């Protein structure tokens, strides 16, 4: 398991005395708050001054080709551009999925710097840790870089198999606690959680939120706040609740979520995702969806607004044996994971942009949905079926799941592996037809 994180020092506009075991001294915390507040205002002023400037993408962090591995040079350029130009103007995501209970002090320490210090995502932050069937949830409408609650998380190594975090740059909805991600809801006796980066115009607060999915049902879930993100989350849950009357297996759930994501990024007036999107207002949809203590889905439909220097996508890295030293790109902080891990550890870290400058990060392809379990990415159906077989599928005390023999028929029928009527009869009880 990951032990307490090592000594570090911030190398930014302010200098914090070296602290042991990831803890700030009281004086250092005060110094960080003063400097980060000043820096936050500076970022806001820069944004106002640059509002009508159309800068060249090459000056900033630019999209790489699908499935490209980020090189150290690209990462360093991206980190440097972020600090210099500070034009990343949408929210950012952080997810972690693990084979053994692991704390995320290292990744969060770098991630929170982007919440008002090295970047301008200062309109709130939140994180959710799964622990058994429950969750620990922390939300604050203050900037993560100066939040006392974020200080607590940075000094409290909570161990988990699955977590989501988000730092907000408000584009839809006021700076208020009800608009802070990740959002969570109970469905089927399971806590679902959701965080989003991007912009989905057809779920804007001034529009009627459309129904998605091929089975109509009741709108059981409704947004509390004003964000398009929460509206999309509720739409996904409503669609899944209407579609399934027994607990779906992981391959079936994966396919259903993939179909919903495709519909979300497709304009309702068109027929295909290529010819129907509104070219003047295209969706940008990158999401993390936690479905219990083991599994996390991540989907990316990346993009950038006209005139913006911000490319919004998703990437991930996997830390597994043999472990090496990782260095954060937002602060002078590194950890030799070989010294603090065991052979059974495996951790996947998902982020909007790379958090480290010396690891390989893989960019999601456009429209790609990845299931993370046991610290590894899965998108092949056979791999996802094995997630179910080893007991990491949905677990509920209130909704029946098909027995494994029927679940196997369910899987093969859904993906065309079995066409006979008996298999269809077996799977039909799992869906509302």
Quote the pLDDT of residue 281: 66
Q: Are 284 and 303 in contact (CB under 8 A)?
A: yes
Burial class (CB within 10 angstroms; exposed 0-12, middle 13-18, buried 19+) of 403: exposed
Question: Residue 313: its pLDDT value, please?
Answer: 92
The string of pLDDT tens digits covering residues 321-335 is 999 999 998 888 899
Q: Are strands 69-70 and 361-363 parallel, antiparallel or unpaired?
A: antiparallel
What's the whole-number mean pLDDT along residues 112-131?
81
Contact assessment for residue 160 and residue 102, using Cβ atoms and an 8 Å cutoff: yes
What's residue 425's pLDDT?
38
pLDDT, mean of residues 354-367: 95
Q: Identify the DSSP state of 362.
A: E
- Cβ contacts of residue 422 below 8 Å, gap of 6+? 409
The pLDDT of residue 252: 94
Please say if the pLDDT value at position 226 is more than 90.
no
pLDDT score, position 125: 87
Mean pLDDT score, 50-56: 34
Query: Which of the residues are catalytic?
Result: 91
Here the contacts of 399-404 (C-beta below 8 Å, separation 24 or greater) are: 399/188, 399/189, 399/246, 399/247, 400/246, 400/247, 401/246, 401/247, 401/249, 402/246, 402/247, 402/249, 402/426, 402/429, 402/430
Domains annotated on the chain, with CATH: 92-270+278-406 (3.60.20.10)
Q: Which secondary structure element, helix H or strand E, spans residue 424, and what is its range?
A: helix 421-428
Give the tens place of pLDDT for each residue, 380-424. 989 999 999 999 999 999 998 877 666 766 666 655 544 333 333
Band the pLDDT of 310: cuts 50, 70, 90. Answer: confident
Q: How far is CA 94 from CA 8, 125, 194, in A?
A: 21, 11, 11
Q: In the predicted model, what is the mean pLDDT of the chain?
A: 74
Residue 359 has pLDDT above 90, yes or no: yes
Q: For 63-108, how does the pLDDT look when each residue is reduced to its tens digit (9 = 90+)?
A: 333 333 333 333 333 333 333 333 345 778 999 999 999 998 898 8
Mean pLDDT of 197-226: 85
Burial of 145 (C-beta count, 10 Å sphere; 0-12/13-18/19+): buried
The overall longest dimension of the chain from CA atoms, in Å, is 71
State both tokens at 48.
């106002």
Average pLDDT over residues 236-241: 97
Query: How large is the average pLDDT for residues 188-211?
Result: 85
Report residue 291's pLDDT band, with 50, 70 and 90 as the boundaries. Answer: very high
Backbone φ and ψ of 334, nearest 5°: -135, 155
pLDDT on residue 75 = 32
Indicate the range of 113-122, 267-276, 339-348 predicted with least confidence.
267-276
Helix (H/G/I), strand (E/B), else coil: 217: coil
Distance, C-alpha 338 to centroid of its chain: 26
Q: Write down the pTM of the prediction.
A: 0.75
| pLDDT score at 83 | 30
**Among 135-139, 255-259, 306-310, which stretch is predicted with the lowest mean pLDDT?**
306-310
């Amino acid at each position: 398991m990951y032990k307490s994180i090592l000594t570090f020092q911030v190398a930014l506009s302010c200098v914090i005395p070296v602290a042991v075991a990831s803890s700030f001294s009281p004086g250092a915390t005060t110094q960080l708050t003063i400097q980060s507040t000043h820096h936050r205002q500076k970022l806001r002023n820069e944004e106002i001054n640059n509002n009508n400037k159309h800068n060249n993408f090459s000056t900033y962090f630019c999209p790489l080709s699908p499935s490209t591995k980020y090189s150290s040079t690209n990462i360093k350029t991206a980190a440097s551009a972020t600090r210099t130009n500070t034009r990343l103007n949408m929210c950012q995501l952080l997810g972690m999925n693990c084979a053994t209970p692991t704390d995320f002090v290292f990744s969060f320490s770098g991630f929170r710097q982007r919440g008002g210090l090295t970047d301008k995502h200062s309109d709130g932050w939140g994180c959710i840790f799964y622990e058994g069937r429950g969750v620990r949830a922390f939300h604050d409408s203050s900037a993560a870089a100066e939040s006392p609650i974020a200080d607590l998380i940075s000094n409290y190594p909570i161990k988990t198999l699955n977590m989501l975090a988000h730092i907000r740059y408000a584009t839809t909805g006021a700076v208020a606690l009800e608009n802070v991600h990740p959002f969570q809801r109970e469905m089927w006796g399971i806590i679902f959680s959701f965080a989003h980066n991007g912009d989905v115009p057809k779920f804007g607060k001034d529009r009627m939120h459309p129904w998605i999915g091929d089975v109509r049902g009741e709108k059981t879930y409704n947004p509390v706040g004003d964000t398009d993100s929460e509206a999309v989350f509720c739409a996904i849950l409503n669609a899944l609740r209407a579609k399934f009357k027994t607990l779906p297996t992981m391959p079936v759930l994966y396919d259903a979520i993939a179909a919903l994501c495709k519909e979300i990024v497709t304009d309702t007036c068109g027929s295909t995702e290529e010819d129907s999107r509104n070219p003047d207002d295209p969706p940008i949809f990158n999401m993390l969806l936690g479905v219990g203590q083991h599994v996390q889905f991540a989907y990316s439909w990346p993009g950038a607004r006209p005139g913006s220097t911000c490319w919004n996508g998703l990437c991930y890295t996997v830390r597994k044996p043999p472990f090496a030293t990782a260095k954060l790109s937002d602060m002078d902080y590194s950890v030799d994971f070989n010294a603090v891990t065991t052979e059974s550890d495996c951790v996947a870290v998902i982020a909007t942009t790379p958090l480290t400058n010396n690891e390989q990060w893989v960019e999601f392809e456009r429209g790609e949905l990845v299931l993370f379990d046991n610290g590894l990415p899965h998108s092949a159906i056979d791999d996802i079926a094995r997630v179910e077989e080893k007991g990491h599928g949905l677990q509920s005390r209130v909704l029946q799941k098909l027995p494994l023999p029927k679940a196997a028929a369910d899987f093969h029928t859904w993906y065309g592996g079995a066409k006979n009527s008996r298999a269809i009869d077996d799977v039909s009880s799992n869906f509302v037809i």
